[in-house]
């Protein structure tokens, strides 16, 4: 999710004063888990549920007896959607707080603002958000879906429901540009044709001329990797134009931060998506997770894809610590590299040793009554995009964010 924070959700400039996120404070000898997230400011719709999920995961770990005979303590900071504070708090976590691990960052820019600090200080780092793929660094583990994991599943499903002629509307920055290339690749591989491709800056909110253009081209399917509050206008305008019932619509981003709950059902019903998580997943792990969330926070309406990724990332780290029998960074990395798995709310999560990305269940879904109805589950999707450029078993000292070429 690499985008310009200043524009996303049309936020104002963040203030510079530090505000700590709610922390779990425990007396005595504890394991210190650092968290740095946007829990206020323009990105708090993502950051607040991520922080809630992290707290819930730590409470579960501690209720189950902690790790290595110790309880886990959260030391967290709110960046207030100010990129400069990511660097400041990352340094504070490793130099002053001396944490054992850090989970944090939302946008790719925030990840890159702190990743080298974590690497240099030899502090294990988890980035638990869907993103554009390509990061290759043995000190980081990434638990969100990458474009190939979701797009390879979504495109043939959506084309099978509609037809072969596809029009792409994408956000004009790294994530949107790379995702559009993946869409084009899988459209062609499934016998289709990309008949239009338009990119939009994040502050664009008038899609009238674009909708008219799509009408004139007459595709069978529109796929929209659009991002942010301004781009939500497309979905509203698309429905208002009457096109939603004439041309099928899919997205790689709609709903990841509960955007489908901002819009109404008439504007979103029928949109096709593919993610690791839906509240509609009926499994013991998800039912228990939702029950615990409701007990802690009142209701489950705030749960979304990247909150669950954060929850699963914390539990994956904990499983690595248990397997290593140690907090030593190298020992935990080696344990995780054995291909450790957990059973999370979104399904089985498995560490890919070569890339340190997650092998994930991906659920094909259709939006219905402001929910996401699961129509098919594809088990254990590999992060093939990053696997094409990253092999940490062969090159353990790699420290690159690759731009994946087609």
Per-residue confidence in pLDDT tens, the chain, 406 aa: 444 333 333 332 332 333 344 444 444 499 999 999 999 887 888 899 999 999 999 999 999 999 999 999 999 999 998 889 999 999 999 999 999 999 999 988 899 999 999 999 999 999 999 988 999 999 999 999 998 899 999 999 999 999 999 999 999 988 888 889 999 999 999 999 999 999 999 889 999 999 999 999 999 999 999 987 778 899 999 999 999 999 999 999 998 888 888 899 999 999 999 999 998 899 999 999 999 999 999 888 889 999 999 999 999 999 999 999 999 999 999 999 999 999 999 999 999 999 999 999 999 999 999 889 999 999 999 999 999 999 999 999 999 999 877 6
What is residue 70's predicted lDDT score, i.e. its pLDDT? 96
Q: 367 and 270 in contact (C-beta within 8 Å)?
A: yes
Q: How far apart are CA 53 and CA 33, in angstroms?
A: 14
How confident is the model at residue 406, as a pLDDT? 66
DSSP assignment of 359-382: EEEEEEEEEETTEEEEEEEEEEE-
**Could you say which architecture CATH assigns to the domain 147-275?**
3-Layer(aba) Sandwich (3.40)
DSSP letters spanning 213-240: HHHHH--SEEE----STTTHHHHHHHHH
Residue 403: CB atoms within 10 A of its CB come to 12
Residue extents of the structural domains in the chain: 8-145+281-360+382-401, 147-275
Residue 12 DSSP symbol? P
Tell me the helix, strand and coil percentages in the chain, rounded to 5.
Answer: 40, 25, 40
Q: 344 has which bridge partners? A: 347
Does 147-275 match 8-145+281-360+382-401 at the fold level?
yes
Burial group, residue 65, by CB count within 10 angstroms (0-12, 13-18, 19+): exposed
CATH class of the structural domain 8-145+281-360+382-401? alpha beta
Strands 135-137 and 399-401: antiparallel
- pTM, full prediction: 0.87
């Amino acid at each position: 999710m690499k985008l310009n924070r200043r524009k996303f959700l049309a936020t104002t400039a963040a203030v510079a004063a530090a505000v700590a996120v709610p922390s779990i404070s425990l007396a005595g000898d504890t394991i210190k888990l650092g968290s740095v997230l946007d829990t206020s400011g323009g990105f708090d719709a993502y950051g607040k549920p991520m922080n809630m999920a992290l707290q819930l995961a730590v409470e579960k770990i501690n209720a189950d007896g902690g790790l290595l005979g110790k309880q886990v303590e959260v030391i967290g900071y709110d960046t207030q959607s100010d990129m400069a504070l990511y660097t400041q708090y990352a340094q504070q976590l490793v130099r002053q707080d001396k944490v054992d691990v850090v989970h944090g960052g939302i946008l790719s820019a925030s990840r890159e603002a702190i990743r080298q600090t974590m690497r240099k200080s030899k502090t294990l780092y988890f980035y638990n958000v869907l993103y554009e793929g390509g990061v290759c660094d043995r000190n980081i583990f990434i638990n969100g879906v990458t474009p190939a994991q979701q797009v390879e599943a979504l495109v043939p499903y959506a084309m099978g429901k509609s037809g072969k002629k596809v029009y792409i509307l994408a956000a004009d920055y790294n994530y949107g540009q790379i995702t559009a290339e993946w869409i084009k690749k899988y459209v062609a591989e499934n016998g289709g044709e990309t008949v239009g491709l338009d990119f939009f800056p994040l502050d664009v909110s008038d899609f009238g001329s674009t909708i008219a253009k799509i009408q004139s081209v007459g595709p069978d399917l529109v796929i929209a990797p659009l991002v942010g509050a301004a781009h939500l206008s497309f979905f509203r305008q698309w429905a208002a134009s009457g096109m939603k019932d004439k041309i099928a619509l899919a997205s790689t981003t709609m709903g990841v931060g509960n955007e489908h709950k901002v819009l109404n059902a008439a504007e979103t019903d029928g949109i096709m998506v593919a993610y690791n998580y839906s509240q509609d997943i009926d499994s013991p792990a998800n039912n228990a997770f939702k029950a615990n969330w409701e007990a802690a926070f009142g209701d489950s309406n705030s749960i979304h894809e990247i909150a669950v990724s954060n929850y699963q990332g914390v539990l994956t780290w904990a499983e690595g610590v248990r397997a290593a029998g140690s907090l030593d960074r190298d020992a935990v990395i080696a344990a995780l590299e054995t291909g450790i798995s957990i059973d999370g709310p979104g399904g089985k999560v498995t560490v890919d040793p070569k890339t340190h990305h997650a092998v994930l269940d991906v659920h094909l879904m259709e939006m219905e009554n402001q929910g996401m109805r699961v129509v098919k589950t594809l088990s254990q999707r590999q992060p093939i995009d990053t696997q094409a450029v990253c092999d940490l078993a062969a090159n353990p000292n790699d420290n690159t964010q690759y731009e994946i070429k087609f």
